[in-house]
């Protein structure tokens, strides 16, 4: 009997706990804040959080009254925990305008709640503080700042958006750069619309429900609910593209529309139609035919150079030398390429469509190619065509069996080497007879060769010469640094003593020859102890070794994306003083990453009084996924440990006797 009572009690207790838990896992009610929310001083699941989303609720429905509209409603509640979280009181609501069709933001409401003297005080958002800003040709923002925000405040904001774009549903983001306690999105979608739901991210759904609403004789609404609970903050990590690639969110892709009495329409389209539309667009494809103003230039190039590859290089340099990129992205032109040519300045599309047009005029097999940059997000090649996923265009050239990807916006890159920002998955070739995805693979690695010839004396003084040769993306970064800083200032900074070593008489070679490695030659020296040493300790990497592991997390869910392979070689020839021997030296080692992902080699060899040290780090692929992370982390641990090891030189017994 007692056992039954205990069982019933435990069952009731379990049901009560579940009910309480379910009650807590609900979207907040606008304008009704709990005193416990105001008393909250930290978020226990992430004590570093400056703010936390207590509740984020969104709802989309289709309105058929007075013409079909899509209505989106949102209510978000945010707790401000620290002064560094004040930025979360600055709100932005994006909306889209395309000619007569537009989105309209309505009923913006907001309150800031504070606990003052044990009482809940609230400050209302003044509608006059809401203003509008245009972000791009089509995107606009409603912006405002919540009033009287301080540490401990809770802000409540709600708004609605009425949209003429009836075939488009907004994506819903469950995750932001601060933790989220509860995020819920609901949608009532009429049976006429067949949407594909695209989930992304590493956090699982807490709720995923679907119900059918409506009587048999009426239109059926499919009611969906998606919710996530206790979503961790998105945090920036080294070697990623953009956080948006890893954010937990849901997107909607309209597949088909089936209105009563009408033939069903497929809405996703295909790349053949998209390519045709783009090539007919005044802001894209027709620009390729506007070639009268440079015909003479191209004729001169063809007369001087017969080889197609050489023609491509000369035309690439011609555009690169003439045009200055205004650092604006996009795959469509703001000005015709003729105007950009005359201005000697333009956005990405104006410069690279000009380049493509010139290549075509020379008779080369060229076409534009769309891509999405690393900070814009990766394109899903298996999804239906959506040109809004792209924000960049380059030129594609095919010469025989070889293909080249050209971007004339970066004056410090040779032909065939794309800026690092472009290395992001695949690009889409916009070409009638050759429609396909093209891998955006790096043509060259981050490369660096350090070669030093040094001598050390019995007092520990070091003298010699070193040469650094950098190529690929290392050369690009260093050239940018030198040119922005100025060559004389860079040299001056280089000659300042760094740690134990001083560099002098530096010479920079091939600074403007982007087809060659960038070389810096200098003398290197280090002061000794000022007296004879019986034992000399020194690190044979001479300040060039890895000292810190970039991978500190125990586990990592995001891929590691270097952008390009890495090839770093260190060579040093060290002559030790007469009467000394090498007592201790780091052992040679070879470490391999699985599946030929990379290799680290370290060797120390002695020939008479000459010690040669070699270190080579090779990362053979740009991307490593989460299961590979532990191996990559340990790989760098091995490099750092080995680069920290020292040589020990000891005066020989014979030498000590002779000295006495």
Could you tell me if 254 and 300 lie in one domain? Answer: no
- Judgement on whether residues 258 and 356 belong to the same structural domain of the protein: no
Distance, in Å, from the CA atom of 657 to the CA atom of 660, rounded to the nearest integer, reads 5
User: Does 416 or 216 have the greater pLDDT score?
Assistant: 416
Cα–Cα distance, 145 to 142 (Å, whole number): 11
Q: What is the pLDDT of residue 610?
A: 95
Q: Which of 231, 265, 299 is the last residue before a domain boundary?
A: 265
Check if the beta carbon of residue 220 is closer than 8 Å to that of residue 214: yes
Residues 637 and 558 in one domain: yes
Reference 592, options 625, 624, 634; nearest CA is 634
pLDDT top residue among 65 and 308: 308
Distances (CA, A) of 326 to 66, 320, 330, 344, 573: 44, 13, 12, 10, 47
Does residue 216 carry a pLDDT above 70? no
Q: Is residue 1 scored above 70 in pLDDT?
A: no
Backbone angles phi, psi at 469, to 5 degrees: -120, 120
pLDDT at residue 297, as a whole number = 93
Q: Which residues constitute the domain of residue 463?
A: 446-654
Tokens of residue 153, six digits:
């405040």
Q: Are residues 433 and 461 in the same domain?
A: no
Co-location of 283 and 250 in the same domain:
no
CA distances from 131 to 93, 98, 134, 135 (A): 11, 20, 10, 13
Is residue 139 one of the residues assigned to a domain? Answer: yes
Task: Let me know whether 250 and 357 are in one domain.
Answer: no
Interstrand relation of 446-456 and 566-575 (parallel, antiparallel or unpaired): parallel
Is position 21 within any domain? no
Do 465 and 419 sit in the same domain of this protein?
no
Q: What is the C-alpha separation between 64 and 344, in angstroms, rounded?
A: 51
Please give the pLDDT value at position 533. Answer: 86
What is the per-residue pLDDT across 90-148, written as a single tens digit (0 to 9) for each? 999 999 998 889 999 999 999 999 999 889 999 999 999 999 999 887 889 999 999 99
Distance from C-alpha of 471 to C-alpha of 488, rounded to nearest angstrom: 22
The domain that contains 419 carries what CATH number? 3.10.620.30
- Of 383, 414, 439, which residue sits at a domain end? 439
Nearest CA to 21 among 223, 230, 213, 273?
Answer: 230
Q: Token pair of 328, please?
A: 């604006």
- pLDDT value at 246 more than 90: yes
What does the pLDDT read at residue 5? Answer: 39
Residue 131 lies in a domain: yes
What does the pLDDT read at residue 82? 96
- The alpha carbon of residue 326 and the mean position of all alpha carbons in its chain are separated, in whole angstroms, by 21
pLDDT for position 20? 33
* 40 shares its domain with 165: yes
Backbone angles phi, psi at 544, to 5 degrees: -100, 0
Instruction: With beta carbons less than 8 A apart as the criterion, state whether 572 and 613 touch.
Output: yes
Whether the per-residue pLDDT at 302 is higher than 70: the answer is yes
pLDDT attached to residue 309: 96
Quote the percentage of the chain above a pLDDT of 90: 77
Say which range, 222-226, 264-268, 475-479, 560-564, has the weakest mean pLDDT: 264-268
Between 29-33, 150-154, 653-657, the lowest mean confidence (pLDDT) is in 653-657
Give the integer Cα–Cα distance in Å for 77 and 57. Answer: 9
- Which residues have a Cβ under 8 Å from the Cβ of 69 and sit 6 or more positions away? 62, 63, 162, 163, 164, 166
pLDDT attached to residue 256: 87
Q: Kindly report the backbone phi and psi dihedral angles of residue 47, in degrees, each rounded to the nearest multiple of 5, phi listed first.
A: -70, -10
> Is 134 domain-assigned?
yes
Lowest-confidence region among 218-227, 453-462, 474-483:
218-227
Domain holding 585: CATH number? 2.60.120.1130
Residues 371 and 518 placed together within one structural domain of the fold: no
Q: What is the pLDDT of residues 505-527, one digit of tens each?
A: 999 999 999 999 999 999 999 88
Q: Is residue 13 part of a domain?
A: no
The reply to whether 240 and 316 lie within a common domain is no
Euclidean distance between CA atoms 588 and 613, whole angstroms: 10
Tokens 């892709």 locate to 253
Mean pLDDT of all residues belonging to the chain: 90
Phi first, then psi: give them for residue 124, nearest 5 degrees: -85, 140
Q: In what helix (H) or strand (E) does residue 656 lie, and over which residues does it extend?
A: helix 653-659
- Report the pLDDT value the prediction gives residue 497, as an integer from 0 to 100: 60
SS3 449: strand
pLDDT surpassing 50 at residue 431: yes
Report if residue 12 sits inside a domain. no
Among residues 439, 470, 498, the one where a domain terminates is 439
Does the pLDDT at position 86 exceed 70?
yes
CATH of the domain at 216: 2.60.40.3140
What mean pLDDT do residues 620-626 have? 95
* 199 token code pair: 């989930």
Band of residue 219 on the pLDDT scale cut at 50, 70, 90: low
Phi-psi label, residue 602: left if phi above 0, alpha if psi -120 to 50, beta otherwise: beta
Q: What is the phi/psi pair of residue 215, to 5°?
A: -75, 160
Whether residue 392 sits in one domain with residue 249: no
Provide the 3-class DSSP secondary structure of residue 494. Answer: helix
**Displacement of CA 265 from its chain's centroid (Å):** 37
Q: How many CB atoms lie within 10 A of CB 566?
A: 20
Total count of domains within the chain: 3
Query: Helices 295-304 and 348-361, interaxial angle, to 10°?
Result: 50
Establish if 6 belongs to a structural domain: no
355-395 residue pLDDT tens = 999 999 999 999 999 999 999 999 999 888 888 899 999 99
Q: Are residues 508 and 587 in the same domain?
A: yes
Inside any domain, residue 14: no
């Amino acid at each position: 009997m007692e056992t039954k009572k205990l069982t019933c009690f435990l069952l009731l207790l379990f049901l009560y706990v579940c009910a309480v838990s379910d009650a807590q896992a609900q979207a907040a009610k606008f304008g009704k804040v709990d005193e416990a929310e105001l008393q909250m001083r930290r978020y226990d699941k992430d004590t570093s959080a400056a703010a936390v989303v207590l509740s984020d609720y969104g709802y989309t429905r289709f309105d058929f009254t007075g013409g079909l509209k899509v209505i989106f409603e949102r209510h978000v509640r945010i707790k401000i925990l620290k002064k560094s979280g004040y930025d979360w009181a600055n709100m932005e609501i994006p909306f889209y305008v395309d000619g007569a069709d537009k989105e309209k933001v309505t009923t913006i409401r907001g309150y800031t709640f504070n606990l003052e003297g044990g009482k809940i005080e609230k400050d209302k958002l003044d509608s006059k503080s809401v203003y509008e800003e245009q972000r791009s040709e089509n995107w606009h923002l409603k912006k405002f700042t919540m009033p009287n925000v301080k540490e401990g405040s809770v802000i409540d904001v709600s708004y609605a958006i009425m949209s003429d774009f009836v075939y488009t549903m907004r994506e819903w983001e469950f995750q932001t750069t601060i933790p989220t306690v509860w995020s819920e999105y609901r949608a009532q979608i009429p049976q006429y619309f067949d949407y594909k739901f695209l989930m992304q991210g590493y956090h699982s759904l807490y709720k995923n429900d679907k119900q059918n609403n409506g009587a048999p004789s009426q239109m059926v609404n499919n009611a969906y609910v998606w919710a996530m609970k206790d979503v961790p903050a998105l945090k920036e990590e080294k070697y990623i593209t953009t956080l948006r690639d890893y954010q937990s969110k849901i997107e909607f892709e309209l597949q088909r529309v089936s209105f009563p009495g009408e033939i069903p329409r497929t809405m996703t389209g295909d790349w053949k139609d998209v390519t045709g539309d783009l090539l007919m667009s005044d802001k894209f494809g027709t620009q390729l035919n506007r070639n009268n103003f440079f015909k003479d230039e191209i004729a001169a190039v063809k007369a001087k150079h017969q080889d197609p590859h050489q023609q491509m290089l000369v035309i690439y340099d011609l555009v690169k030398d003439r045009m200055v990129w205004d650092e604006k992205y996009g795959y469509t032109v703001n000005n015709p390429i003729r105007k950009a040519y005359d201005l000697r300045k333009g956005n990405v599309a104006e410069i690279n469509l000009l380049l493509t047009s010139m290549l075509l005029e020379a008779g080369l097999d060229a076409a534009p190619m769309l891509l999405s940059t690393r900070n814009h997000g990766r394109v899903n090649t298996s999804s239906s065509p959506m040109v809004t996923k792209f924000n960049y265009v380059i030129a594609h050239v095919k010469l025989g069996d070889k293909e080249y990807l050209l971007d004339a916006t970066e004056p410090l890159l040779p032909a065939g080497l794309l800026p690092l920002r472009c290395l992001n998955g695949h690009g889409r070739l916009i070409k009638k007879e050759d429609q396909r995805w093209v891998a955006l693979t790096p043509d060259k690695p981050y490369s660096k060769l350090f070669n030093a010839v040094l001598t050390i004396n019995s007092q520990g003084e070091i003298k010699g010469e070193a040469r650094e040769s950098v190529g690929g993306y290392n050369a690009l970064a260093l050239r940018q640094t030198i040119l922005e800083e100025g060559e004389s200032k860079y040299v001056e900074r280089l000659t300042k003593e760094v740690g134990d070593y001083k560099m002098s008489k530096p010479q920079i070679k091939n600074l403007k020859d982007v087809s060659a490695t960038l070389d810096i030659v200098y003398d290197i020296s280090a002061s000794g102890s000022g007296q004879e040493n019986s034992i000399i300790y020194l690190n044979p990497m001479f300040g060039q070794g890895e000292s810190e592991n970039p991978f500190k997390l125990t586990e990592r869910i995001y891929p590691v994306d270097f952008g390009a392979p890495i090839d770093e070689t260190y060579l040093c020839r060290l002559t030790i003083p007469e009467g000394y021997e090498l007592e201790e030296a780091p052992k040679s080692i070879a470490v391999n990453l699985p599946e030929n992902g990379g290799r680290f080699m370290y060797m120390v060899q002695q020939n008479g009084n000459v010690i040669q040290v070699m270190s080579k780090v090779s990362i053979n692929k740009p991307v490593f996924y989460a299961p590979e992370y532990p191996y990559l982390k340990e790989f760098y641990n091995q490099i750092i440990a080995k680069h920290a090891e020292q040589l020990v030189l000891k005066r020989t017994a014979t030498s000590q006797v002779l000295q006495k």
